């Protein structure tokens, strides 16, 4: 069995951001136990920024991008070294693997990443994965690593995704403020996953929170992968997750699976605009599984460029999300035009069907959604 285990900043650092030797030692022990049992494990680890902040003696997490990148580079070295020390106690070798979102959406990068991970596992190595924060060119992309872990689980064809946090799982309300909050032990594959909500706030040392873990769990479910959200300090959490015990909140795998590319479009990409279409275009996309053409477009919102992700809207309802092939200003000049009337050399598809995810159920613009193939 292949396990992807993601651990959050709050679970492997103390209140001052220093790496918790005990926490990483515990995770290393459980990884070694899984390896002895014949399982393979990929660890996705946050904590580089917090560790760098502590190492540099900063009083708080910086907010400007250049400092964040520099701090993450400092902390990443310390983080991986600690994993090396703790896994070495069990005779295990680890490897550092830094990724970014486009490793999952660009075909050549995706195949290269998948091949590298497969070879590392063949060699008996434990990959330690983190987002490549130090060279991000706009912001710390996802930052929380939860969605990175879900995309990685998809590309590696994992059997289970375990999201380790400082909570026992998902509750009906925030247990820190509501004494009546109850743990949700199981979310069935046919449950409306979006009925569960959570705030984005976490410990303050990381950048995720329960909301990002719920997104990752949904992504795993729509990859056909079972996922578990549970407390990192719980004894035997990995063993329990592998054996399908209720050791937190378990999300069953859905029987329909999105590709990593579609997952990125649906969940992980920043939406930069909206393309409004008529009802005929909506039917062609939803029922006919067609590409979106300029003839069906009635209005454009936003300043998107080719390759950006947009919501596709009909009657003020977002029913699809896709990666556009045409810039907003170029599309704005040809809305409603038939293919034969397009300027020479212009791409015919606004969104190709391979870059489109239909949303289920349809939701008002700006609302959260649940994707379907």
Are residues 336 and 248 both part of a single domain?
Answer: no
Confidence at residue 204, expressed as pLDDT on a 0 to 100 scale:
42
Confidence at residue 293, expressed as pLDDT on a 0 to 100 scale:
96
Give how far Cα 189 sits from Cα of 121, 164, 250, Å: 29, 21, 10
Look at residues 222, 243, 262 and tell me which one is the last residue of a structural domain: 262
Confidence at residue 267, expressed as pLDDT on a 0 to 100 scale:
78
Confidence at residue 141, expressed as pLDDT on a 0 to 100 scale:
54
Are residues 51 and 108 both part of a single domain?
Answer: yes
Are residues 257 and 121 both part of a single domain?
Answer: yes
CATH code (residue 252):
3.40.1160.10
> Which residues, including other chains, have CB under 8 Å from residue 197's CB and lie 6 or more apart?
211, 214
Look at residues 201, 233, 262 and tell me which one is the last residue of a structural domain: 262
Segment holding 219, helix H or strand E = helix 210-221
Are residues 48 and 142 both part of a single domain?
Answer: yes
Are residues 298 and 348 both part of a single domain?
Answer: yes
**CA gap 67, 72 in Å, rounded:** 8
Are residues 187 and 298 both part of a single domain?
Answer: no
Are residues 277 and 256 both part of a single domain?
Answer: no
Are residues 221 and 171 both part of a single domain?
Answer: yes
Q: Taking a C-beta distance cutoff of 8 angstroms, is the pair 189, 221 a contact? A: yes
Are residues 43 and 63 both part of a single domain?
Answer: yes
Dump strand ranges (E) for 38-124. 40-45, 94-99
Are residues 216 and 288 both part of a single domain?
Answer: no
Confidence at residue 61, expressed as pLDDT on a 0 to 100 scale:
86
Confidence at residue 11, expressed as pLDDT on a 0 to 100 scale:
93
pTM of the entire structure? Answer: 0.81
Q: Which domain covers residue 129, as residue numbers?
A: 2-262
Are residues 30 and 88 both part of a single domain?
Answer: yes
Look at residues 206, 237, 262 and tell me which one is the last residue of a structural domain: 262
Are residues 164 and 61 both part of a single domain?
Answer: yes
How do the pLDDT tens digits run along the chain, 373 residues long? 999 999 999 999 887 778 999 999 999 999 999 999 999 999 999 999 889 998 999 988 888 888 988 999 999 999 999 999 999 999 999 999 999 877 877 778 889 999 999 999 999 999 999 988 777 555 445 556 898 999 999 989 999 999 999 999 998 888 888 889 899 999 987 765 434 444 444 444 444 578 888 888 988 988 899 999 999 999 999 999 999 999 999 999 987 678 778 887 887 678 899 999 999 999 999 999 999 999 999 999 999 999 999 999 999 999 999 999 999 999 999 999 999 999 998 999 999 999 999 875 444 444 443 444 3
CB atoms within 10 A of CB 278: 15
Confidence at residue 360, expressed as pLDDT on a 0 to 100 scale:
59
Confidence at residue 193, expressed as pLDDT on a 0 to 100 scale:
46
* Structural domains in the chain (count): 2
């Amino acid at each position: 069995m292949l396990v992807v285990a993601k651990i959050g900043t709050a679970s492997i650092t103390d209140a001052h951001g220093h790496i918790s030797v005990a926490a990483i030692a515990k995770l290393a022990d459980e990884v070694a136990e899984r390896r002895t049992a014949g399982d393979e494990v990929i660890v996705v680890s946050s904590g580089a920024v917090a560790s760098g902040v502590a190492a540099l003696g900063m009083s708080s997490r910086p907010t400007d991008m250049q400092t964040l990148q520099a701090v993450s580079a400092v902390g990443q070295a310390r983080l991986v070294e600690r994993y090396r020390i703790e896994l070495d106690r069990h005779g295990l070798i680890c490897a550092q693997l830094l990724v970014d979102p486009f490793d999952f959406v660009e075909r050549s990068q995706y195949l290269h990443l998948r091949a590298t991970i497969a070879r590392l596992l063949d060699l008996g190595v434990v990959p330690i994965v983190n987002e490549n924060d130090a060279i991000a060119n706009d912001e710390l992309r996802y930052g929380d690593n939860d969605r990175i872990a879900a995309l990685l689980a998809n590309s590696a064809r994992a059997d289970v995704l375990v999201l380790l946090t400082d909570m026992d799982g998902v509750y009906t309300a925030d247990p820190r403020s509501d004494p009546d909050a109850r743990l949700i032990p199981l979310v069935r594959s046919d449950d409306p996953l979006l009925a569960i909500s959570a705030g984005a706030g976490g410990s303050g040392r990381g950048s995720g929170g329960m909301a990002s873990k719920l997104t990752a769990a949904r992504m795993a479910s729509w990859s056909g992968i079972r996922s578990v959200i549970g407390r990192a300090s719980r004894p035997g959490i990995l063993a329990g997750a592998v054996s399908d015990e209720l050791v937190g909140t378990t999300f069953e795998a859905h029987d329909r699976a999105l590709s990593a590319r579609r997952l990125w479009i649906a969940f992980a990409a920043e939406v930069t605009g909206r393309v409004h279409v008529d009802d005929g275009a909506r039917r062609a996309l939803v029922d006919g599984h067609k590409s979106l053409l300029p003839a069906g477009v009635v209005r454009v919102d936003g300043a998107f460029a080719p390759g950006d992700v947009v919501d596709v809207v009909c009657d003020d309802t977002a029913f699809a999300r896709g990666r556009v092939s045409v810039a907003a200003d170029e599309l704005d000049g040809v809305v409603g035009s038939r293919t034969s009337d397009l300027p020479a050399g212009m791409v015919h598809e606004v969104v190709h069907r391979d870059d489109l995810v239909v949303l289920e159920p349809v939701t008002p613009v700006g609302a959260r959604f649940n994707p379907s193939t």
